[in-house]
Amino acid sequence: MAIKKLLIANRGEIAVRIVRAAQGLGIPTVQVHSMADANSLAVRMADEAVDIGPPHAAKSYLNIDNLLEAARKTGADAIHPGYGFLSENAKFAQAVEDAGLIFVGPRPETISRLGDKAAAREAAKQAGVPTVPGSEGVLSGADEAKAAASEIGYPVMIKAAAGGGGRGIKIAENETELAKLVAEARNEAQAAFGDNALYMEKVIRDARHIEVQVLGDGTDAVHCFERECSLQRRRQKVWEEAPSAALTEDQRQAICESAVALAKSVGYRGAGTLEFLFDDRSGAHYFIEMNTRIQVEHPVTEMVTGIDLVQEMIRICGGEPLRLKQADITLSGHAIECRINAEDPSNNFMPGPGVIGKLGVPEADHVRFDTLLYEGYQVPPFYDSLLGKLIVHGPDRAGAIERMAAALEGLTIEGLKTTIPLHKVLAASDAVRANAVHTQFLEPWLAEHPIAPE
């Protein structure tokens, strides 16, 4: 049941990435777009384009009926959801299957089980994977929250079971704060995710974010090693690397084995990522969540393993068994990705749309720029601010940082403010060069090292 025509239910740089992957496999593509995206690069590159509605995502990219109608009209037999939007929506995956189409992702049951972050913790425990000390399942109310917190020890994190994108997370330092924050978190989770379920975790201070890429075909699963994404702002990743320079070989093996154990225990299909916190001091890793989709930072893994993750997920979901054996997957060198956003790092990361003037992209074998931009393109104001991802590969971490510094010098995006100046400062900083970072490092550091306007 190989895929004959692929519809891309997404936009931006990931839509471009998926069109390229499909082209490489000889699969024709259908790019859906909102009215605001009629001139997007993905629309220009795809074989066909279908207008699915007004700019507001709820009326277009999140409109399941319109997406299925676009597939019916064009004869597409498979849908790739990308990341964000409907990519982790079990109802959408089910509707795609009910329409007789292939969903390029896990089975709907797997998404339900792992997409609920409290349920995913239980699945991890059952697979013998260490989780952050925290509540058993979701919190019924303020009393249970209090009891759980006094057992775990403050500070604690209150998280929305349906949360994502760094949102829906609050830290309580003591019992007085807890009651207030639980009530607030419940209201906010209901408004943001349509689901008010909460759970609790101990705050692991100054930990690193290390995540493991997996591929599964429903029967077998392999890992493609790890990425480190400890440089974060508002719990969103800013700079990502593969592999993590913080792990010993034994620690690498342990965290990757945990990931495969969970992937196998749920019969995972497609590409997925298991996120962990890693504590340098003890060497322990703790599962936090699984993203049941392709991730923004997947290219650093592609650079160090030579695997095209998007092509692999398309092949697997089209019915092919996993082609890769664990022993065939090896690491070579070091890769870094910088997220280039339409935000002004010298002005509190204020987002701002604009029209792209001159676009200068560094060209070298070891550099990749995944982007939605072209000269003259008007960046619409309705969607997230990611303009592109600059990715470099080097022989080792120090070499990759040098190449990133050079690549950033060679990247010119005129017409709007971008986060390029932030990345130049990071690439030159002692802390990044020494890899002396953790998930709470960047925000206070930025307060002390303000980014000058360019």
Catalytic residues: 293
Six-digit token pair at 148? 């759980």
Find the binder of ligand ADP among 81, 105, 106, 163 (CB under 6 A): 163
Which helix (H) or strand (E) element contains residue 412?
A: strand 412-413
DSSP letter assigned to residue 168: S
Residues 89, 81: Cα–Cα separation, whole Å: 10
Q: Quick one: what does residue 295 bind among ligand ADP, Mg ion, none, with the CB cut-off 5 to 8 Å set by partner type?
A: ligand ADP
Q: What is the dihedral of CA 43, 46, 52, 56, to 10 degrees?
A: -40
Identify what 116 binds: ligand ADP, Mg ion, none; CB under 5 to 8 Å per kind. Answer: none
Binding mask 256-295 for Mg ion (x = CB under 5 A): -------------------x--------------------
Quote the least distance from Cβ 286 to ligand ADP, whole Å: 7
Told to check if 116 binds ligand ADP by CB under 6 A, we report no
Partner touching 343 among Mg ion, ligand ADP, none, CB below 5 to 8 Å by kind: none
Q: Does 237 bind ligand ADP (CB under 6 A)?
A: yes
Which of 338, 290, 376, 369 is closest to 112 using CA atoms? Answer: 290
Question: In the complex with ligand ADP, which residue's Cβ is closer, 64 or 169?
Answer: 169
- Give the one entry of Mg ion, ligand ADP, none that residue 83 binds, where binding means its C-beta sits below a cut-off of 5 to 8 angstroms depending on kind: ligand ADP
Rounded to whole angstroms, the Cα distance separating 217 from 317 reads: 8
- Give backbone dihedrals phi and psi of 203, rounded to 5 degrees, phi first: -80, 120
Q: Which of residues 418-437 bind ligand ADP (CB under 6 A)?
A: none
69 or 195: CB nearest ligand ADP: 195
Among 84, 108, 299, 388, binds ligand ADP (CB under 6 A): 84
Number of residues that bind Mg ion (CB under 5 A): 1
Give, to the nearest 10 degrees, the angle between helix 249-265 and helix 117-126. 110
| Contact with ligand ADP (CB under 6 A) among 181, 415, 439, 442 | 439
| Backbone phi and psi for residue 239, each to the nearest 5 degrees, phi listed first | -145, 130
State the binding string over 412-441 for Mg ion (x if CB under 5 A, else -): ------------------------------
Half-sphere exposure of 424 (CA within 13 A, CB side): 18
Decide whether 275 or 344 has the Cβ nearer to Mg ion.
275
Smallest gap from Cβ 199 to ligand ADP, in A, equals: 10
- Is the CB of 76 or the CB of 386 nearer to Mg ion? 386
Q: Which residue has the tokens 């929305």?
A: 160
Using alpha carbons, select from 52, 105, 58, 59 the residue that is nearest to residue 80.
Answer: 105
Does residue 165 bind ligand ADP (CB under 6 A)? yes
DSSP state of 131: B
- CB distance 239 to 424 below 8 Å: no
Buried b (16+ CB within 10 A) or exposed e, 145-154: beebbeebee
Interface characters, 188-217, with ligand ADP (x: CB under 6 A): -----x-------x-xx--x-x--------
Residues 14, 39: contact at Cβ < 8 Å? no
Note whether 220 and 322 are within 8 A (CB).
Answer: yes
Question: 201 vs 275, which CB is nearer to Mg ion?
Answer: 275
Q: Are 244 and 226 spatial neighbours (Cβ–Cβ below 8 Å)?
A: yes
Q: Which residues bind ligand ADP (CB under 6 A)?
A: 83-84, 132, 157, 163-166, 169, 193, 201, 203-204, 207, 209, 232, 235-237, 275, 277, 288-289, 291, 295-297, 384, 439
Q: Which residues bind Mg ion (CB under 5 A)?
A: 275
